[in-house]
Amino acid sequence: MILFFALIAFIMVASAVAVVLFRNPLQSALALILHMICVAAVYAQLDAHFLAAVQIVVYAGAIMVLVLFLVMLLNIKVEKLRPIGRVYMALGVLAGAGFLVILVPVLQKVFTMVPDPIAPLEGTAKAVGRILYTEYLFPFEIASVLIFVAIVGAVMVAKRNYTVVGTSSGEVPESAKEASR
């Protein structure tokens, strides 16, 4: 168990670093897909089986496909490295040191404060669905409205805006009708 977790955690962190460091956005997208599959593996280990499946289907299967479509359609070139100035480097080191100073006592507390689980959780689709459709019915319906609004918004933002020019009598010439289709 610990070996599985250590392996998955290592791949998760390594692929996240790879997303940040790769210059080619296509390689970053593929590293992010690997990261999301690792997150799904950790969900499965935390007894969240339904969420692991939803993670693969929604995140790795839909959102990342959308991102890959975008990278393919926009024909992105490889990003060039920009040299970091000396001031920014010093500021970065200072911020990192300050962050470590804050983080280490927090980590010492975290190991004692969070209670470990007593009984295994039932994170199946049946259990999640039972709560989703009774207690969380209203947020569920609002979420469906939200997705609908997002669809309409995305289409409106991304579509091309054609203007159709008509004559003074209100008729639209045939060539303009063809161009706006």
Residues that bind other proteins (CB under 8 A): 1-2, 5, 9, 12-13, 16-17, 19-20, 25, 28-29, 32, 35-36, 39, 42-43, 45-48, 50-51, 54-55, 58-59, 62-63, 66-67, 70-71, 73-74, 76, 79, 82, 107, 110-111, 114-119, 121-123, 127-128, 131-132, 136, 139, 143, 146-147, 149-151, 153-155, 157-158, 160
Q: Look up residue 169 and give its DSSP letter.
A: T
C-beta neighbour count of 139 within 10 angstroms: 11
Residue 134 Cβ, how far from other proteins at the closest point, in Å? 11
Distance CA 59, CA 88 (A): 34
Residue 169 Cβ, how far from other proteins at the closest point, in Å? 33
Written as six digits, the tokens of 142 are 């609002």
Q: Look up residue 57 and give its DSSP letter.
A: I
Which CB sits closer to other proteins, 113 or 168?
113
Which CB sits closer to other proteins, 46 or 176?
46
Which CB sits closer to other proteins, 143 or 165?
143
Quote the distance between the C-alpha of residue 50 and its chain's center: 18
Which CB sits closer to other proteins, 143 or 172?
143
Sign (positive or negative) of CA dihedral 68, 74, 77, 80: negative
The answer to whether the beta carbons of residues 167 and 173 sit under 8 Å apart is: yes
